[in-house]
A = this chain, B = another copy of it.
């Protein structure tokens, strides 16, 4: 095993290898979802629990902003908070996810009050926020690189929902549509930052480990959701 600095291609390849092995599109619950095998209740359970993740994304990204002393990086990063929180001129991802929940039969109140939140999901999401707060900011940036794999997942998910869950109003799927392009831009930005600032052998390896950690967060969420709603699928 080499201990030196990876060239750019090797570094990127090591990120991609994590995704191929550990990204949550390979989780049994996600496979069942995209194969149309989830009950309406299981789907609602997934949407309601994943909402806790969505709510915490701007908190996580603001933590990265707050840990980063490089103004140019903050200038690139800040739109993520606005993309999820929304602004006076545009609804954000959190609002879009609430619409998805409503299209699945959940009320805003039960989502906002975390009424369906599973302890294992809270645990995993809180661990992710805590990671972003406490790690070096280039490492926290690297942990967001699951976005490298998100556009393909979003495209497949959108097609699966339209095919297998036709009772969900198509407007409820806008979050997936938005994220397909947003995730591509976001991962380009995050990858450029990670490649530039994870600039020692140690930081490179920590960055890859951070992406693995993030995959574990997403995987653990699905474990908890699977256990609660779809033990038999």
Q: Are A86 and B75 in contact (CB under 8 A)?
A: yes
Q: Which of A21-29, A58-66, A159-167, A187-195 contacts B (4 or more CB under 8 A)?
A: A58-66
Is A78 on the interface with B (CB-CB < 8 A)? yes
Number of copies of this kind of chain in the complex: 2
- A62 near B87 with CB under 8 A, answer no
**A231 near B: Cβ within 8 Å?**
no
A4 at the interface (CB under 8 A from B): no
Q: Determine if A94 is an interface residue (Cβ-Cβ < 8 Å).
A: yes
What sequence of 0s and 1s flags, for each residue 43-69 of chain A, a beta carbon within 8 Å of any chain B beta carbon? 000000000000100111011011111
Residue total for A at the interface (Cβ-Cβ under 8 A): 23
**A71 proximal to B (CB < 8 A):** yes
Residue of B whose beta carbon sits closest to that of A74: B85
Q: Smallest Cβ distance from A117 to chain B, in angstroms?
A: 14
| Bound-complex Cα distance A85 to B76 (A) | 10
| Neighbouring B residues of A59 by C-beta, 8 Å | 65-69
* A144 → chain B closest CB, angstroms: 15
Task: Produce 1/0 per residue, A71-115, CB < 8 A to B.
Answer: 100110010011001111000001000000000000000000000
Interface residues of A (CB under 8 A from B): 55, 58-60, 62-63, 65-69, 71, 74-75, 78, 81-82, 85-88, 94, 133
What are 29 sample pairs from A and B whose C-beta atoms fall under 8 A apart? A55-B69, A55-B71, A58-B65, A58-B71, A58-B74, A59-B65, A59-B66, A59-B69, A60-B66, A62-B62, A62-B63, A62-B65, A62-B66, A62-B74, A63-B66, A65-B65, A66-B133, A71-B85, A71-B86, A71-B94, A74-B81, A74-B85, A75-B85, A75-B86, A75-B87, A75-B88, A78-B78, A78-B82, A78-B85
8 smallest CB-CB distances across A and B, nearest first, come from A62-B66, A62-B65, A63-B66, A62-B62, A74-B85, A71-B85, A66-B66, A75-B85
